[in-house]
Amino acid sequence: MQQPELAGRVALVTGAGQGIGEAVTRALVACGARVAALDWATEGVKELEAEFGADRVVAHSADVADSLAVDAVVDEVERTLGPIAILVNVAGVLRTSPVVDITDEVWDRTFAVNSTGVFNASRAVARRMSERRDGCIVTVGSNAAGVPRTSMAAYAASKAAATMFTKCLGLELARSGVRCNVVSPGSTDTAMQRGLWADEQAPQRVIDGDPATYRVGIPLGRIAEPADIADAVTFLVSDRARHITMHDLYVDGGATLRA
């Protein structure tokens, strides 16, 4: 019998407790990986550990904005599970507001998690991957990083920073064989997305688009499921994508009309 595609590989997933991070964790486990599931809130990752067993998923708690805490988790994972072959940066926050009303606290926290968090985790893992000349890093960004959105300036700017950081890291690590890519979802059925919905008609408005806010709809006619994003991630960390690096894969049903 053929072994699962990622059998024997250790993965670290941030923001693993819910939404896309949870879906990525499940997809990696299904492909044979052992996953260190990291989230600042422990409930979701502990549930995953209980469901799959500690031989498949190990829960960790840390704020990705805290570099020392992230370094400690990476050290522990490498000591207890083995060399990290896959890092998936999913942890993110979203608070909507017109630019003139964004507080310093919201701006700073958005960048601390969405941008600095990606830097902290990637730096800690990249140091080890480059020495071993092997590994894959995927950052889950957003299509908002490439298309302006009203009331989403902090989120969009932080995701754009994370996207370019990941590409620059990929360039620096390319000679060592370490690949770094981005998956950019559009509207996806998660708690974060549902937090933007004011009524039962909101999902259809997302699909149809909103000219008043200059937002294009979704040509494929549906909102993504977290598993759609996870499938893109598992492809990029697999050997099927061995010659792909510094790529930004949009998974948004065509919503950005991106060439």
User: What distance, in Å, lies between the first and last C-alpha atoms of the chain?
Assistant: 41
The encoded tokens of residue 128 equal: 């080890």
> Which of 52, 155, 165, 250 does the annotation list as catalytic?
155
33 burial level (CB within 10 Å; 0-12, 13-18, 19+): buried
The encoded tokens of residue 54 equal: 């500690």
Question: Any idea what the Cα angle at residue 92 is, between residues 42 and 217, rounded to 5°?
Answer: 130
Active site residue 155: yes
DSSP per residue over 48-89, as a string? HHHHH-TTTEEEEE--TT-HHHHHHHHHHHHHHT--EEEEEE
Q: What residues are labeled active site?
A: 155
